[in-house]
Amino acid sequence: MSTLCLLFGDQLNLNMSSLVNLNKAKDHVLMAEVRTEASYVKHHKIKIAFLFSAMRHFKNTLKAHNYQVSYIDYAHKDNKGSLYEQVRFFCSQHKITKLVLAKPGEYRLFEDIKTWSQKLNIDLEISDDNRFLASESDFSNWASARKQLRMEYFYREMRQKHQYLMENGKPIGGKWNFDGENRQKLPKGIKPPKPTSFDQDQITKDVIKLVKNEFKDHFGDVDNFHYAVTREQALQVLNDFIEQRLENFGRYQDAMVQDEPWLYHSHISFYLNAGLLLPDEVLQAAQAAFYEQNAPINSVEGFVRQILGWREYVRGFYWHFMPTLKTDNYLDAKVPLPDFFWSGDTQMNCISQSVKQTKEHAYAHHIQRLMILGNFALLAGLDPKEVNEWYLIVYADAYEWVELPNVSGMILFADGGQLASKPYAASGSYVNKMSNYCANCHYNVKEKTGAQACPFNYLYWGFMQTHQHRFEGNPRMGMMYRTMSKMDPTQLSHMLDDTQIFIKNLNA
């Protein structure tokens, strides 16, 4: 009689709640590379290669710590193709009386797992996912006392609770948020450090060969795979960020540069979301850099806000609003996803850059995701279902708990304002302000209408006109509607016409 621990591919940490009470002498750990999880959407090749390689390396870590591990790789003769069938088969081969696991990060899988106890006739114990600093009940308790669930106030409470960048009960630097100092364009002549990269070991080479054979029709490239696949390597990525890029992270975190995908960002989201890094150690490293005067407060606070604020917030938001969040479509957006979201073949240079970098690296930084690709999806009225699936497919750090709130709530305003106080809509002037993309573009960012006009310009004002009945009473959008009321009606009409023609011809 023994216990089986099912460990998911994004729970690669020895401190997982599902592992802590196992009896290493008699209990079992099961890990499996199964078809249903690898292919329920056609995940980027890099994402599959990263997770399979990291899982195989973590299997060796577990064995080195004397866990009894059964690892079923993709080509294993006993691979049953799904997690449920794999667990059922294992239980039939062993005297398993109890199944333990940490809560998975996706609603669909959690709902399925809740039926397993009865189907398998064994006890089922689901523990909290302790890779987060705020539990689901923490978020629900916070949310239940509020009409508006704004991240900024959640973030402040998390700062106070966990005492990051706090002194005598007050935020260091005299204010909670230094975002106003973090919107600088990258000056010419500054060359960011290269990202930390690693040679492929034999495990990773074997996985890449597998991915090329089994997932050849999936999105993306995998030949130049250079990512961390062990905890030791992930810690090196973190350390290199703290030493080489954190100092400039704040001021340039919103900047975008032609042919520069990595810039001063941390590049740790792959590893944080897979369990190779934990939020506390990441936050402590950043805070130590501030106390040691190696990074300014605006950079450190901006980074802390991403981890302690935004990441924790969206995870709580996801579980609080599922399952309706997945089908929300407040703006009644129905336009199919354009083909250039897969190819990058468009004369809009900012989108071409962002898509092609995504295809090559399974990565784009948050402003490319939000204010280039996401802004376009919002303004063009792309179908939330198709947009959500695209984001889940193409990014190696994407899991539904983090992807869906960001896309449906932050990007598309599909939830009607539960997450964001207004749509994050912008014209071409924002792209020009924060990047040098426009200098290399077919379109003219200063033109508002006509064949050479930047599509973001007329799409923005077309969006504002189309949804005026929804947003003109929004306090944060009042200024733009006052501006619109003073614009030439003929020009506004032309921009609405250009918008409709552009959207009609998107996939022509």
Fold of 2-127: Rossmann fold (3.40.50)
d(CA 299, CA 307): 13
d(CA 493, CA 466): 11
Domain 340-504 has CATH 3.20.20.80: no
What are 90-128's pLDDT values in tens digits?
A: 999 999 999 999 999 999 999 999 999 999 999 999 999
Domain 136-196+231-317 classification at class level: mainly alpha
d(CA 73, CA 52): 8
What are 366-390's pLDDT values in tens digits?
A: 999 999 999 999 999 999 999 999 9
d(CA 424, CA 320): 22
Is there a cis peptide before residue 336, judged by omega within 30 degrees of 0?
A: no
Residues of the chain where predicted confidence (pLDDT) is lower than 70:
none
Return the DSSP state at 258. Answer: T
Average predicted confidence (pLDDT) for the chain: 96
d(CA 206, CA 222): 12
d(CA 241, CA 206): 29
d(CA 133, CA 405): 18
Distance of CA 311 to the CA centre of its chain: 9
d(CA 393, CA 96): 35
62 CB-near residues (< 8 Å, 6+ apart):
14, 29, 69
Tokens of 53: 């390689």
Amino acid 243 reads E
Q: What burial letters (b/e) apply to 247-275, b meaning 16+ CB within 10 Å? A: bbbbbbbbbbbeebbbbbbbbbbbbbbbb
Other C-beta atoms lying within 10 Å of the C-beta of residue 146: 10
Give me the pLDDT at residue 180, please: 87
Query: Would you kindly state where each structural domain of the chain is located, as residue ranges?
Result: 2-127, 136-196+231-317, 340-504
Tally of residues, the chain:
508
48 CB-near residues (< 8 Å, 6+ apart):
38, 211, 215, 218
Domain 136-196+231-317 in the same topology as domain 2-127: no
Distance of CA 109 to the CA centre of its chain: 18
